[in-house]
Structure formats: structure tokens, C-alpha cells
Amino acid sequence: MGRILAIDFGRKRTGLAVTDILRITANPLLTIETKDLISWLSDYFAKEKVDEVVIGHPTQMDGSDSESMNHIRPFIGNFKKQFPNMPIIMFDERFTSVLAHRAMLAGGMKKKDRQDKAVVDKIAATIILEDYLQSKL
């Protein structure tokens, strides 16, 4: 059984999270510059067995796509060209950034660290992955 990788896609930075081998826990992995994402994924897939990728689907309160989808759609097209056998699943990511900030506050993270957007991105990816895992129960 392979891992599940989650992507919180951003125009500049992208947060990544991954499950353990048994797919029980979601763990923050890293935040990477989006321009380097496909190359990084290629290296990661060569080293780790990943069975599926979950990408955050940004939506409005009414459930319609947010403007961010204009940047995510081209990435998904490129992803499918580069990794044609890797399933990619869109999963609702509403409020993940807000939840990431709350988790950092609850965890006692210092204000300076909470302002680091790279930390927020990988925590948001972790929340997307946790929510996805919960939806499969």
C-alpha cells in the first residue's frame, strides 16, 4: 500500500502533506515554490510509493469554484501529462487556511512563526489530507 500525498496549491508556494505508510495519519511534509513542484513530485514519486494525490479544491461559500481554480486547472493538466497513471482527486479545501491558523494558535506557536506563510501552507495541506482520510471512513 502506498501513501496519499496532499497538495495545497498556491500561485507562489505549495504546501504538501503525506500519510504514513498505513494511511492512518496525515503529516506535514514541506512547502515548495510552485514553479518547482512538478520536478519535486517526480523525484518524490521515484523514491516513495504514492497511490493517489489529493489536491485542495478551492470553492466559494455557495460551492462554486473560486478564482484560484484558474491557476489549479493548468497545473492539473500538466500533472496528468507528467504522471498519467497517478490518480489525482479534488477535495474541498474551504476554511483550511483559517483552520491552520487556529491549529497554530492552539499549539502555542509564536506569533512570528504563525506569520510564516510556508508553515500555514503545509498545515493547510495536512488539514486537507486529514479531512480526505476522514471522508473515506
Higher pLDDT, 127 or 81: 81
Please give the mean pLDDT across all residues of the chain. 86
Pair type for strands 13-19 and 26-33: antiparallel
Q: What are the φ and ψ backbone dihedral angles of 99, each rounded to 5 degrees?
A: -65, -35
Domain that holds residue 22: 3-135
User: pLDDT band for position 48 (50/70/90)?
Assistant: very high
User: Alpha helix (H) ranges present in 5-116?
Assistant: 37-47, 69-82, 96-106, 111-114
Span 30-44, pLDDT tens digits: 999 999 999 999 999
Inter-residue contact 128 to 96 (CB < 8 Å): yes
CATH of the domain at 131: 3.30.420.140
Do 85 and 39 form a contact (C-beta atoms < 8 A)? no
Q: How many domains does the chain have?
A: 1
Q: Which helix (H) or strand (E) holds 135?
A: helix 117-135
- Residue 87 three-state SS: coil
pLDDT band at 59 (very low <50, low <70, confident <90, very high): confident
